[in-house]
Amino acid sequence: MFTGIVEELGTVKEARPGRLVIAARVTLEGARLGDSIAVNGACLTVSALGKGTFAVDVVPETLRRTNLGAVHVGDPVNLERALAYGGRVGGHLLQGHVEGVAAVRGVTPDGPNSFVMAFRAPRALTRYVVEKGFIAVDGVSLTVVNCRSDAFRVSLVPYTLAHTTLGQRRPGDKVNLETDILAKYVQKLLTPS
């Protein structure tokens, strides 16, 4: 489980089919082989540790559902270690199971120290997005400002823009989405089998 509070921006050092090597500092503190680390919101398993780096294997299903197949050497990625039981939950509970991607539509100022970022997203995902509900965008826990059948918007503070990949996203960029797990369970329970 994760909280959607990004611990640091890592840097992709190697990107080849099925494998990423990422430079990090904070995320490596206490890291061991087999640990789970969210990379742009996708829960991945540490398969190797190096001096200031860790490697993860990326399976085809992850590549189909996330933006990780499009990262290049030098790209920043959001990193978060798995939640320790008894730890603080500053965002909301995430599984690290990215469901799909959305495209950035734009960022606009919204008063002092606030920005609104808009996304175009598949209807299969927006059905689980509700106004004032949670959503994880590239692993960042955010509150939805409003939503439509094919789009949604979130508010961002300058800190989030400066300390996550969201500050570098431009219109057309793809971001990973994880919707709130509760909405999916409710829908499953209400749908006849």
**Res. 43: pLDDT tops 80:** yes
CA distance 76 to 102: 18
CA distance 22 to 31: 13
Rounded to the nearest angstrom, the gap between the alpha carbon of residue 139 and the centroid of all alpha carbons in its chain is 2
Smallest CA-to-CA distance from 78 within 134, 155, 132, 12 is with 12
Q: How confident is the model at residue 164 (pLDDT cuts 50, 70, 90)?
A: very high
Of 56-65, 76-85, 179-188, which range is least confident?
179-188
Q: How confident is the model at residue 29 (pLDDT cuts 50, 70, 90)?
A: very high
Residue pair 176/67 in contact by the 8 Å Cβ criterion: yes
18: phi then psi, degrees, rounded to nearest 5: 85, 0
Residue pair 105/169 in contact by the 8 Å Cβ criterion: no
The first and second tokens of residue 181, run together, are: 């797990």
Confidence at residue 87, expressed as pLDDT on a 0 to 100 scale: 78
CA distance 103 to 100: 10
CA distance 75 to 4: 20
CA distance 76 to 23: 10
Q: Please, what's the b/e burial string for 11-34 (b: 16 or more CB within 10 A of its CB; e: otherwise)?
A: bbbebeeeebbbbbeebbeeeeee
Confidence at residue 88, expressed as pLDDT on a 0 to 100 scale: 78
pLDDT, mean of residues 11-18: 96
Confidence at residue 86, expressed as pLDDT on a 0 to 100 scale: 80
Q: What is the pTM (predicted TM-score) of this model?
A: 0.94
Give the CA count within 13 Å in the CB-facing half-sphere of 146.
Answer: 2
Residue pair 56/20 in contact by the 8 Å Cβ criterion: yes
Tell me the average pLDDT of the chain: 95
Cα dihedral 60→42→178→107 (10° resolution) = -110
CA distance 84 to 17: 31
**Res. 49: pLDDT tops 90:** yes
**Res. 193: pLDDT tops 80:** no
